[in-house]
Structure 1
């Protein structure tokens, strides 16, 4: 019985069609009863002995068969369901919203050739390791902007990332909070659970709202030289309940980020995201088909 605990109908309004079905069955069944007319003129005590039994309606007849078929069809269309299954449109890997900081500080050369160039290199490695997964690109400085909506084409993401520079950003500053909110809105429009990847060198913790930790999982790649201060990023990571990954000269940071981004699929499965209810109404179709075959019996539809 525990397996049927979440039983429900996906389209319960269809069950309202049972009302006219029941009313029609009662009216038709009553009019088909030949004894109804005789009860008006013959004493009820004598009626069973005077009326031929063949005038009694058959237990299984066109009216009853039609009513049963109608009942089963309505239940099937209403969509009975009690089990979940992965969505056929779910991706093999969860999507990611990439939030890239594009400010003059990202042109610092402590990470050769620059922090911004190193971010592009790491981004290329991450997308290559997650081939086929959708990625969106958001750039921010003093304001945040959607550069590219979710796409599985990593080449387009990288081409646009290479075109970004502090000179083209309309305003200087650090609008990480706005960029994060924009990234989560982008992910909210997708069927699968996803996560946010922030690529930045520094951040301003005071600009982050107190409720910023709610929402999609966040991973932060710290783009600062080993041993240098990642100004504000540890505080931001704590506020967002995010994972902070330091940039490495090898692929250690890439492997860690890919592992965390792929975990978003498991977290979404726990919450039921990326899944849908499996309807069981199709199991009733054989019974409906058998009832339909009864209409070919002699005396029903065919002479």
Structure 2
């Protein structure tokens, strides 16, 4: 409740100025309706009260009073009171992600059948199915890092590009993990929709401590018994302030990763606007209609 009061504001505060002419007309009408106002300046108050007929029986709520109340409610509705944000209907529903795939001769080892590289592609395909429609991009790296594909919701394109990667197409051998993560983070930053980075690798070099950036997940393409305890990958995950994911024989590894990607980092902002506040002025419509119904009473406007 306190948070709602702190966020309460008007979308169009200039609409409150419409109350001023209503208040001025109401005061003017009251002065004109008071037949004894001109006598108060020249007659004793007690004598005026004794000579006034029907003054004590004056209606407490007059049509002018209700007109002022209705006008005020209309002005409040026009001003657009709000206290909560609403998601834009044009906002990206799913958070984007960048896949960084290590493409080196070591990824062709068969201790993770059929090969480490093929298993990485299979896990990527499974993850794309679980993230259907979510924008996903691809970075390939060995001794250098290269942007293969910016984030796209077309999973078939990502799978196709990943399937075409092999160690012999990479210009230099090595392990440029830091460059791959930096390139993926830059691509996400240029997209302006937030997102996370998933690295598919079997080893990692020593990395300096990361000074911030998108959430990073390292999917270890090693046999399950070795993946969770590999010191190099654990050190890389710690340096990147990320999380190490060990493969499993069932889909539980990618299912957990998909859930993490769905909530990691800040939500993507709405395109073209940082915040969208929900319009709540329409809730005043029933009160305005109720006040308007009184004008259908016989003799009301003449009372």
Instruction: Give the TM-score range, shorter chain.
Output: 0.5 to 0.7
- Whether 1:43 aligns to 2:42 is yes
- For structure 1, the residue ranges without an aligned partner over 5 or more in a row are none
CA contact (8 A) 2:98 2:151 kept: no
Any residues of structure 2 matched to 1:89-128 within 5 Å, and which?
A: 95=95, 97-105=97-105, 108-110=108-110, 111-128=112-129
Residues 172 and 39 of structure 1: is their aligned pair in 2 closer, same or farther, counting only changes over 3 Å? Answer: farther
Aligned to 2:145: 143
Residues 291 and 132 of structure 1: is their aligned pair in 2 closer, same or farther, counting only changes over 3 Å? Answer: farther
Residue aligned with 1:7, SS: helix
**1:157-185 deviation line (CA, Å, top 9, x unaligned):** 21232233456557765113313423653
- For structure 2, the residue ranges without an aligned partner over 5 or more in a row are 270-274
> Displacement, 1:73?
1.5
- Distance in 2 separating the partners of 1:66 and 1:227: 73
Residues 91 and 189 of structure 1: is their aligned pair in 2 closer, same or farther, counting only changes over 3 Å? Answer: closer
Match of 1:73 among 74, 77, 92: 77
CA contact (8 A) 2:81 2:280 kept: no
Deviates more, 1:288-297 or 1:133-142: 288-297
CA contact (8 A) 2:247 2:253 kept: no
> Displacement, 1:221?
1.3
Residue aligned with 2:62, SS: coil
CA contact (8 A) 2:95 2:135 kept: yes
CA contact (8 A) 2:83 2:277 kept: no
Aligned to 1:60: 63
**1:224-250 deviation line (CA, Å, top 9, x unaligned):** 4665996832211112333323445x3
CA contact (8 A) 1:143 1:170 kept: no
CA contact (8 A) 1:99 1:183 kept: no
> Displacement, 1:293?
3.7
Residue aligned with 1:221, SS: strand
- Distance in 2 separating the partners of 1:199 and 1:124: 12
- Distance in 1 separating the partners of 2:193 and 2:263: 19
CA RMSD of aligned residues (A): 4.6
Aligned to 1:30: 27
- Whether 1:255 aligns to 2:268 is no
- Distance in 1 separating the partners of 2:267 and 2:157: 31
- Whether 1:185 aligns to 2:189 is yes
- Distance in 1 separating the partners of 2:288 and 2:36: 35
Aligned to 2:156: 155
> Displacement, 1:262?
0.7
Residues 113 and 55 of structure 1: is their aligned pair in 2 closer, same or farther, counting only changes over 3 Å? Answer: closer
- Whether 1:21 aligns to 2:18 is yes
Residue aligned with 1:100, SS: strand
TM-score normalised by structure 1 residue count: 0.68
CA contact (8 A) 1:177 1:209 kept: no
Residue aligned with 1:139, SS: strand
CA contact (8 A) 1:102 1:169 kept: no
Aligned to 2:272: none
> Displacement, 1:285?
2.3
Residues 96 and 156 of structure 1: is their aligned pair in 2 closer, same or farther, counting only changes over 3 Å? Answer: same
Between the two proteins, the alignment pairs up a number of residues equal to 282
Aligned to 2:211: 211
Residues 176 and 13 of structure 1: is their aligned pair in 2 closer, same or farther, counting only changes over 3 Å? Answer: same
- Whether 1:176 aligns to 2:174 is no
Residue aligned with 1:134, SS: coil
TM-score normalised by structure 2 residue count: 0.68
